[in-house]
Amino acid sequence: MKKVAYSVTKVGRYENTKMKGVGFISDADLVFACVSKNGNPYIRVFEDCVKQCHPVLNSENEFKGAHYEIREVEFEREDGSKETREIEVNYYIWYKILD
CB 62 within 8 A of CB 54: no
Mean pLDDT of the chain: 90
pLDDT tens for 30-52 read 999 988 889 999 999 988 888 88
- Residue of 52, 57, 59, 58 lying closest to 93 (CA atoms): 52
pLDDT of 41: 92
Rounded average pLDDT over 49-63? 91
Q: Is the full-model pTM beyond 0.95?
A: no
In sequence order, which residues have a C-beta less than 8 Å from that of residue 45 and are 6 or more positions away?
29, 30, 31
Cα separation of 74 and 66, whole Å? 25
Strand positions, DSSP E, 26-61: 30-35, 41-46, 54-55
Residue 75: band (very low, low, confident or very high) from pLDDT cuts 50, 70, 90? confident
pLDDT of 31: 93
CB 67 within 8 A of CB 44: no
